[in-house]
C-alpha cells in the first residue's frame, strides 16, 4: 500500500524537507511516484526510509537493474542500471544474480 511522503514525515517526526532528502538519497526511482508534497512511497520504500532514519550510514542507495553479462569472476555480473544510465559490476547474493 502506498503512503504519501508527508504522512511518513509526520509519523517519523521529521520535516518534509528531511524526508524528501532521504528519499532522493536512498530510494530507487521505482519506489516513489509524484512530485513535491504529492509524492507517494511504496511499501518497500517505506521500510527503507524508516531504517535509514534509524541508522543512516548502514542503508545504501538502492538501484534496480538488468543483468547484462557474466564477469570472469563467477561472483560478479555486469548490470545495466537505467536511472542514472550506467553499466557496472555487481556482487550480491546468489539468488539476486540469476
**∠ CA(81), CA(94), CA(59), 5° rounding?**
60
Residue with cell 563467477: 74
Average pLDDT over all residues of the chain = 79
Q: What is the pLDDT of residue 98?
A: 47
Q: Is the pLDDT of residue 10 over 80?
A: yes
pTM for this structure? 0.61
Q: Is the pLDDT of residue 53 over 90?
A: no
Which of 6-10, 47-51, 59-63: highest mean pLDDT? 6-10
Amino acid at each position: 500500500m502506498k503512503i504519501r511522503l508527508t504522512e511518513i514525515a509526520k509519523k517519523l517526526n521529521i520535516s518534509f524537507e528531511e524526508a524528501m532528502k532521504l528519499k532522493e538519497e536512498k530510494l530507487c526511482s521505482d519506489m516513489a511516484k509524484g512530485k513535491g508534497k504529492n509524492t507517494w512511497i511504496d511499501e518497500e520504500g517505506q521500510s527503507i526510509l524508516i531504517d535509514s532514519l534509524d541508522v543512516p550510514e548502514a542503508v545504501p542507495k538502492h538501484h534496480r537493474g538488468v543483468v547484462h553479462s557474466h564477469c570472469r569472476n563467477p561472483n560478479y555480473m555486469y548490470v545495466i542500471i537505467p536511472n542514472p544510465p550506467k553499466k557496472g559490476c555487481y556482487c550480491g547474493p546468489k539468488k539476486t544474480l540469476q
